Structure 1
Amino acid sequence: MKAFIKAISYYLPEKVVTNEDLEKDFPEWNAEKVSAKTGIFQRHISASEETATDMAVIAANKVFAEYNIDRKQIDYILFCTQSPDYKLPTSACLIQKRLNLSSNIGALDFNLGCSGYIYGLSLAKGLICSGIAKNILLLTAETYNKYIHPTDKGNRSLFGDGAAASLISTDGFAEIGDFVLGTDGNGANNLIVKTGCARNPQKMNDMGKDDGGYMQSSDYLYMNGSEIFNFTLEAVPTLLNQLFEKTQLSKEDIDYYIFHQANKFMLNTIRKVCVLPKEKFYINLVNTGNTVSSTLPIALKDAMESNHCIQAGMKVVITGFGVGYSWGGCILFF
Structure 2
Amino acid sequence: MARWNIKNVALRGVSLCVPDRVVKTEDFEFFTAEDAEVFNNTVGIKSRYLAPDDVCASDLCQAAGEKLLNELGWDKESVDVLLFESVTGDYKTPPTSCLLQDRMGFSQHCFTMDIPMGCCGCMYAMTIGANLLSAGSVKRALLLVGDTAVRMGSLKDKSRVPLFGDCGTALALEYDTAADEIRVDFQSMGKGGAALMTPHGGFRQPVTPESFIYEDFGNGIKRAPVHTLINGMDVFSFAISRPPQTVAAFMEDYGIDKDMDIDYFLIHQANKMIVDRVVKKLKLDATKVPYNLEEYGNLGGASLPSLMVSRLKEQLTTNPQTLLLSSFGLGLTWGTMFLKTKPMIIPDIIRL
Render the CA deviation track for 1:15-51: whole Å, top value 9, x for unaligned: 22111211x4433753322221222221111111111
1:166 pairs with 167, 171, 192, which one? Answer: 171
2:227 pairs with 199, 220, 233, which one? Answer: 220
Structure 2's unaligned 5+ residue stretches are 1-6, 342-352
C-alpha separation in 2, matches of 1:244 and 1:11: 32
The alignment's C-alpha RMSD in Å is: 2.3
> Is the alpha carbon distance of 1:211 and 1:21 closer, same or farther for their aligned partners in structure 2, counting shifts above 3 Å?
closer
CA contact (8 A) 2:157 2:220 kept: no
> Is the alpha carbon distance of 1:208 and 1:311 closer, same or farther for their aligned partners in structure 2, counting shifts above 3 Å?
farther
> Is the alpha carbon distance of 1:309 and 1:103 closer, same or farther for their aligned partners in structure 2, counting shifts above 3 Å?
closer
Deviation at 1:310, TM superposition (A): 8.5
CA contact (8 A) 2:187 2:335 kept: yes
Give the aligned partner of residue 301 of structure 2: 293
| Letter aligned with residue 85 of structure 2 | C
C-alpha separation in 2, matches of 1:173 and 1:194: 47
Give the aligned partner of residue 280 of structure 2: 272
Give the aligned partner of residue 230 of structure 1: 237
Matched, 1:200 2:205: yes
Provide the aligned length of Structure 1 versus Structure 2. 332
Matched, 1:3 2:1: no
2:48 pairs with 24, 28, 43, which one? Answer: 43
Identity of aligned residues (%): 27
Matched, 1:131 2:174: no
2:257 pairs with 229, 234, 250, which one? Answer: 250
3-state SS of paired residue (1:321): strand
Give the aligned partner of residue 98 of structure 1: 103
1:15 pairs with 18, 21, 35, which one? Answer: 21
Between 98-107 and 11-20, report the one with greater CA deviation. 11-20
C-alpha separation in 2, matches of 1:6 and 1:320: 21
Query: What is the TM-score with the length of structure 1 in the denominator?
Result: 0.92
> Is the alpha carbon distance of 1:101 and 1:172 closer, same or farther for their aligned partners in structure 2, counting shifts above 3 Å?
farther
2:35 pairs with 18, 30, 35, which one? Answer: 30
Give the aligned partner of residue 122 of structure 1: 127
C-alpha separation in 2, matches of 1:57 and 1:330: 25
3-state SS of paired residue (2:240): helix
Render the CA deviation track for 1:79-119: whole Å, top value 9, x for unaligned: 11111111111100000000001111100101100011111
Deviation at 1:331, TM superposition (A): 0.8
Render the CA deviation track for 1:150-202: whole Å, top value 9, x for unaligned: 11122121100111001011249984521110111011111011111211111
> Is the alpha carbon distance of 1:216 and 1:227 closer, same or farther for their aligned partners in structure 2, counting shifts above 3 Å?
farther
Structure 1's unaligned 5+ residue stretches are none
C-alpha separation in 1, matches of 2:184 and 2:33: 44
Deviation at 1:255, TM superposition (A): 2.2
C-alpha separation in 2, matches of 1:209 and 1:269: 31
3-state SS of paired residue (1:282): coil
